[in-house]
């Protein structure tokens, strides 16, 4: 059994995947995060990293056409890696937001512009259809018109399955009335539990929808790299399992239910292996009780590890 398979599998529609995947945003370098002071990710190194992930059992990748920096595109790197890989890998992408060539964010696309975004993903990924397309909401009250436009592309065969990102429970109900929803991507982690508070995690479980958290490791730092761990609870559990704090955070996420997937991203091969190995951790009831207690964080210094 591969490391990524150790946490079991879940189905995105008819596509069965290991619960630990890979998030491709960081493949683009710091430019994606609004900085231009970091070195670009070497293309060959990126392909080796992706092949390393696939070799450890990662069989689904999260990406988007708007994951790019001045010199790198996540979709094109994934395309390059998959063209020289013989195994099957499910690619989930996102539409809705956009960025102009300079990297500036654009408003949410109109429903009639979503076809162009889907076609751009198809071109960049070198595919004739997309496995999963997530509509990323901008927080508007209704997503029906946008999701309906994607449902039409699904009927045409350009998209196999549909999902949602950055949504609330009523959005799921609204979308499900139009077409099946196979996954929901929202910010979620030990320090960011709004999806518990509004019932979204439970709703997905009840309806057989994959819940796919992002920022599970970085937490409140969101797009920024995870800071040096300052949560005493996490350190205590990490020592008990001879694991890293990031592994404990990922393991905690996976323990939220068999429908919860993980898509940690990194450009560091050692961190990649550690992230995938989190699938092998089995937290005890005592571990989970401790982690769910109020935190004990010293935030006097927020320097990165």
Give the angle subtended at the CA of 22 by the CAs of 135 and 285, to the nearest 5°.
Answer: 100
22, 54, 66, 67: which one is catalytic? Answer: 67
User: Is residue 274 within a helix (H) or strand (E), and if so which, with residue range?
Assistant: helix 269-277
**Which tokens sit at 250?**
């990922």
In eight-state DSSP terms, residue 87 is S
User: Tokens 């102009």 appear where?
Assistant: 100
Take residue 160 and report the two structure tokens written for it: 């196999």
SS3 category, 184: strand
Nearest CA-CA partner of 232 in 299, 293, 297: 297
255 sits in the region (left: phi over 0; alpha: psi -120 to 50; else beta) called: alpha
Scored b (16 or more CB within 10 A) or e, 117-154 reads bbebbbebbebeebbbbbbbbeeeeebeebbbbbbebb
Distances from the Cα of 247 to the Cαs of 39, 44, 121, 281, 303, in angstroms? 26, 27, 31, 8, 20
Q: How far lies 59's CA from each of 2, 17, 91, 282, in Å?
A: 11, 6, 8, 21
Annotated catalytic, 188? Answer: no
d(CA 231, CA 113): 44
**Which among 172, 167, 168, 150 is positioned nearest to 159, based on CA atoms?**
150
Whether the Cβ atoms of residue 273 and residue 246 lie closer than 8 Å to each other: no
Kind and range of the H or E run holding 161: strand 159-165
Active site residues: 67
């Amino acid at each position: 059994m591969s490391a990524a398979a150790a946490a079991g599998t879940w189905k995105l529609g008819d596509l069965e995947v290991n619960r630990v995947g890979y998030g491709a945003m960081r493949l683009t370098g710091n430019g994606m995060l609004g900085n231009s002071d970091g070195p670009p990710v070497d293309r060959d190194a990126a392909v080796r990293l992706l092949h390393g992930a696939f070799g450890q059992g990662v069989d689904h990748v999260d990406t988007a056409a708007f994951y790019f920096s001045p010199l790198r595109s996540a979709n094109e790197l994934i395309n390059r890696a998959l063209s020289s890989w013989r195994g099957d890998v499910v690619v989930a992408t996102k539409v809705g937001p956009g960025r102009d060539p300079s990297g500036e964010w654009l408003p949410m696309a109109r429903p009639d512009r979503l076809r162009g975004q889907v076609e751009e993903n198809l071109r960049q990924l070198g595919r004739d259809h997309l496995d999963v397309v997530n509509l990323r909401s901008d927080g508007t009250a209704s997503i029906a018109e946008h999701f309906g436009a994607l449902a039409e592309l699904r009927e045409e065969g350009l998209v196999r399955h549909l999902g949602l990102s950055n949504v609330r429970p009523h959005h799921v109900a609204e979308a499900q009335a139009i077409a099946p929803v196979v996954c929901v991507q929202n910010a979620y982690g030990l320090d960011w539990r709004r999806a518990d508070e509004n019932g979204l995690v439970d709703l997905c479980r009840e309806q057989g929808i994959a819940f796919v958290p992002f920022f599970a490791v970085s937490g409140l730092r969101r797009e920024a790299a995870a800071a040096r761990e300052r949560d005493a609870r996490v350190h205590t559990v990490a020592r008990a399992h001879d694991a890293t704090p990031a592994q404990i955070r990922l393991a905690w996420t996976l323990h939220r239910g068999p429908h919860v997937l993980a898509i940690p991203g990194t450009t560091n091969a050692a961190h990649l292996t550690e992230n995938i190995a989190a699938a092998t951790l089995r937290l005890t009831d005592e571990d989970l009780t401790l982690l769910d207690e109020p935190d004990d964080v010293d935030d006097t210094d927020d320097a990165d590890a």
